[in-house]
Each structure stands twice: as structure tokens, then as C-alpha cells.
Amino acid sequence: MLSTTLLVILVLARANTAVSIPTSKSGKFWKGFARIDYLFTSQWRSSNRPNWVDYMTTTFNQSKINSINYAFPGATTDEKTTSAPLFRPTIQTQIGQQCLRQWGPQFVIRGSSNSDNSLFVLLAFPGNDIVNSLGRNDSVSVIPKIFETYDNLIEQLYAVGGRNLVFNNLPDLSKAPIITVAAANGSSMAVKTVKRQIKVWNEQVISLVDRNRTRSKCHSVTIFEPDMYSLFEDVYTDPKSHPETASITNTRNPCPVASPISNAVTLYPQCVPYLFIDQIHIQSPMHKAIARKMVQEITGEAC
């Protein structure tokens, strides 16, 4: 399974659809990546060495960043939509009950983190919502319900000062081993269904971006949109297209010596040539490429 600083890198997702990506516009609270002191996120660490949060914090950073990670393995957005019974907490509880409860009052009262120096990664790569709903009759129609939860979470973040947002799109999860293996084993609709899910998910993200750009009370919001779909397509086609992934030689299969669902503790140096460490998680080189892509979008140049 896949597993918040107030630039809200709200890493939701939008697929490579025909809808154009709106141009980023800086609001008055955005002072630049070099002014970021806090990074709040919810990114699980099944990456076989550093993940993209680590790289943004220690490699591509332009300031000393304090990273706070609320990730929980297998978390989905909301238990009322796509969570399996054992997967707790959800993104909703990670933000509403953990992040805001622990940091919201400090953010408003003490001012150590504020609208200028804070970066939220609300949702990095929400593959669990896609995978966990795949076998359901409402695997596509449930997605708008998920975004009702995101609307609520964004309202809560805005209430404590969240103004600067980054929304990135979602890669083609139909190419992940967990989906391609299912298709090879007779689930002929798996690939087609996932593609439909991503299309609808990303249409919802476009609407979410537009709502947060246009509603009057959020006129000061800054939104950045790193294009992760294209990044992954580049690597799927030619890993050498990006220096971080040049060592990858297998983009389709999981590393055969790793556990089916990897953890944050066990390292597998022999898995370096693989894009995927397991059925769903990408490895550290791709995470480094993701971090560079995000910082390129935020700063307008590579570090």
C-alpha cells in the first residue's frame, strides 16, 4: 500500500488529460522556497533508501527544513469511502486529528510556523484510494465523494493559515505491478478500470484547483502544479531521460528479492535496477527525480 509549513504542497493528483493546467500565480504569502522552514507531509517510507520528502529536506532544500511526517501504511483519504478496516489512520485523521490538533494552535498562536514559511504535502501519491476501490462496483463514482473530504480538509488548513498550495498529478497507476499482474492473471478489466479512475480523479483535482484559485476568500492562495504524470512517462519509456533514474533497467516488474509490500527498515541494495521495490512502491531513485521536479516547479529552476 501507499502510504504538513503551510505552502500546502497539497499533493493530490491529476492525470495527463486533455484539460490544460492553469498557470501558477504567486499570492502575497509566498516568499519563495528558501523561506520554507516546515514541511508537513503524509508520505510512507517504503522506498528502499530516502524518499522524495527526504530529498526535498536535505538535498534540494534552500533552507533548514523541519519535516513532520504523519504517514501511516495503507492510509486512504477517508474511512467512509475507500479504507479497509485495518488501515488506520486515514488522510482525514492524519490532518484533522494529528496535524491540526498538534500544530494548528501553535501555528496561529506562537507563530513559529506561518503562512510564509510552511509547506503542506497533504497527499503525495494517493494510490491507496485507487487500489482499495478497484474491485468495488463504485470504483469510479466514489472518487467525487473522496474530494468532498478534501474540500473539508482544505477549509481546515485555510482556517489556520494555509495559503500556498502545490497540486501534482497522478502517474499512470495501471502500469504498476499490482495492476499489470492482476491483468495477466485474468482480471482483464483492471488496467482499463484504473485508467478510468485516474481520469475521473484528476478531473476532480482540476476542479479543486479552480475552486481554490477563484473563491474570493482564497484570493491570496498560491498554487504550483508539478507534472508527475509526464515525469513517470519519461522514466517508463527511458529511465536514462533523467539522471536520478539512469541506473534503472526494469520499469515493469517488482524487485524479486524484496517482500511483497516493503517496509521502511529493510534495505535491498540488489534492487537498485528496479523502478518498483514491490507491487506498488517506487524506489529511491524515482523519489529523487520527484523531489527535483517539485523543486523545479516551486523555484522555477533546478537546484
Q: Which long-range contacts (CB under 8 A, 24 or more apart) does 184-193 make?
A: 190/134, 193/134, 193/139, 193/140
Q: Which residues pair with 165 in a beta bridge?
A: 223
- Separation of alpha carbons 192 and 42, rounded Å: 28
Average pLDDT over residues 174-203: 88
Place of cell 504517514: 71
Place of cell 477549509: 155
**Residues shown for the chain:** 303
Full strand arrangement of the beta sheet holding 118-120: 66-69, 38-41, 118-120
**Of the candidates 83, 86, 54, which has an alpha carbon nearest to the alpha carbon of residue 67?**
54
- Separation of alpha carbons 157 and 153, rounded Å: 6
- Separation of alpha carbons 274 and 47, rounded Å: 11
Residue range 201-259, pLDDT digits in tens: 889 888 888 887 776 455 677 888 888 889 999 999 999 999 999 999 999 999 998 87
Compare 168 and 266 and report the one with higher pLDDT: 168
Residue range 105-125, pLDDT digits in tens: 555 534 477 788 888 876 566
90-125 CB burial, b ≥16 within 10 A, e <16: bbbbbbbebbbeebbeebeeeeebbbbbbbbbbbbb
